[in-house]
Homo-oligomer: A and B are copies of this chain.
């Protein structure tokens, strides 16, 4: 693509080229290093884990950047605001939805039940770091900015679709309805299992939900 005029706005779509302010000609700018992109991804991944562990509001940027091996000042080389990071970390978290499919693929039959059992395991309840973001951040996500909520919403739909696909003996709308309720119930169950201070009740919430979701 030829770029021979300053007013050509196409440079906005090709960030490798920029117009130097105050000068009337096109400057070729150094390609952003792959390392920079990797650092950015690391910050997002670290944030996703930190938010799940401590909550969005309770996680400070300085703390978070330190966890990513950087000082806080570098943050704004990658993101315009904390809100932007929250949205991206949320989207990043939702990519784990695909892992659900692949892990369920190994189970020869009753895949839906395998997914539910995995989700409602004691291990998942006790591991917020890599667990489900809906359960870890549910009430905070409900108050988050639109971008984060949209990412979460997309992740929910993706998860519902995966579960619905397992109900292949049902009509599509019935399968989707069942899937919506299954996913909602799983999220509610893990949330309550984490809140309650009674260990027996916590276990019961998970096991009873497992049992009853098979014939919901």
Write the residues of chain A forming the contact surface with B, with a CB cutoff of 8 angstroms.
54-55, 57-58, 134-143, 146, 149-150, 152-153, 156-157, 177-178, 180-181, 183-189, 191-192, 194-198, 201, 204-205, 208-209, 211-213, 216
Q: Which one of B146, B150, B188, B196 lies within 8 Å of A191 (CB-CB)?
A: B188
The reply to whether B197 and A192 form a contact with Cβ atoms under 8 Å apart is: no
A158 to chain B, nearest CB (A): 12
A191 to chain B, nearest CB (A): 4
Residues of chain B lying within 8 A (CB to CB) of residue A205: 180, 184
Q: Which of A57, A139, A146, A178 has the most CB of B within 10 A?
A: A139
Q: A147's closest neighbor in chain B, by CB? A: B197
Residues of chain B lying within 8 A (CB to CB) of residue A181: 185, 189, 208-209, 212-213
In angstroms, Cα B207 to Cα A105, docked, is: 30
In angstroms, Cα B137 to Cα A57, docked, is: 13
The reply to whether B58 and A191 form a contact with Cβ atoms under 8 Å apart is: no
In angstroms, Cα B140 to Cα A54, docked, is: 9
The reply to whether B139 and A197 form a contact with Cβ atoms under 8 Å apart is: no
In angstroms, Cα B178 to Cα A157, docked, is: 26
In angstroms, Cα B156 to Cα A58, docked, is: 25
Q: Which one of B57, B157, B188 lies within 8 Å of A187 (CB-CB)?
A: B188
A195 to chain B, nearest CB (A): 5
In angstroms, Cα B133 to Cα A192, docked, is: 12
In angstroms, Cα B196 to Cα A183, docked, is: 13
A109 to chain B, nearest CB (A): 23
